[in-house]
Amino acid sequence: MPEFLLVLVSTILVNNFVLVQFLGLCPFMGVSNKLEAAMGMSLATTFVLTLSSVLSYLTYRYVLVPLDVAYLKTISFILVIAVTVQFTEMVVRKTSPLLYRVLGIFLPLITSNCAVLGVALLTVKKGIDSFMAAFLYGFGAALGFSLVLVLFAALRERIAVADVPVPFKGASIGLITAGLMSLAFMGFSGLIKI
């Protein structure tokens, strides 16, 4: 049990996907102008990243390794994840309009993101060897992403009304802010060695 907690703390804070590993910067910059949109994106990301980690673990362990074709992992992960997410999106759209409004519109946006492939490849690279650990790795990565996305969105709503010099308005002050956030997250380095 303690090692599961360590995986969570490690992925949420110490090795935060956005601010420490610099994955998933496009949705981080793109969907952080409004807090509500950021929350919807967070939910979608949590779903996709968790699914991605688990699926890649299963694909790798039970298909690629037995067939001795581990070099096909990148292409097979993309295929499996994209198919599953698109299928989920279609099911959600047909069955639950409410869920679709909150979650569905963000699903196609996040599926093609580097964080999704990143979490899949890192799951394999780090040698995660149980279903539960893979699940928590993806879930933790997603929680870390959601945490900084929501905090960043609230911060940007405040910066939007600040008297930022004209050359720095918009994305550039956003990137500077992300840099300073990353500086703050350096404080967690050394907390856990995973």
Partner 1 sequence: MALLSVTSPHIHKPGNTGGFMRQVLYATLPGLFMLTYFFGFGTLINVVIASAVAMGCEALILKVRNKPIAFYLNDYSAVVTAVLLALAIPPTAPWWLTVIGCAFAIVVAKHLYGGLGMNPFNPAMVGYVLLLISFPKEMTTWLPAAGLDNSVNVPGVFESLRLTFLGTNPDALSGATPLDTFKTYAGQPEVLDSNAILHGTFAGYGWEWVNIAFLLGGVYLIWKKIITWHIPAGMLLSIFLLSGFFNTAVDADNYPSIMHHLLSGGTMLGAFFIATDPVTAATSNRGKIIYGFLIGLLTYVIRTWGGYPDAVAFSVLLMNLAAPTLDYYTQPRTYGHRQPNKGLAKPD
Residues of this chain that interact with partner 1 (CB under 8 A) are 35-36, 39-40, 102, 150-152, 154-155, 157-159, 162-165, 168, 173, 176-177, 180-181, 183-192
> Nearer Cβ to partner 1, position 70 or 186?
186
- Report, in Å, the least distance between residue 166 CB and partner 1: 10
The three state secondary structure string of 94-159 is: HHCHHHHHHCHHHHHHHHCCHHHHHHHHHHHHCCCCCHHHHHHHHHHHHHHHHHHHHHHHHHHHHH
Please calculate the CA angle 18-19-20 and round it to the nearest 5 degrees.
100
- Report, in Å, the least distance between residue 151 CB and partner 1: 5
Classify residue 104 as exposed, middle or buried by CB count within 10 Å of its CB (0-12, 13-18, 19+): buried
Within its chain, how far is the Cα of 70 from the centroid?
Answer: 24
Q: What are phi and psi of 16, to 5 degrees?
A: -50, 130
- Report, in Å, the least distance between residue 127 CB and partner 1: 24
- Report, in Å, the least distance between residue 88 CB and partner 1: 19
- Report, in Å, the least distance between residue 129 CB and partner 1: 25
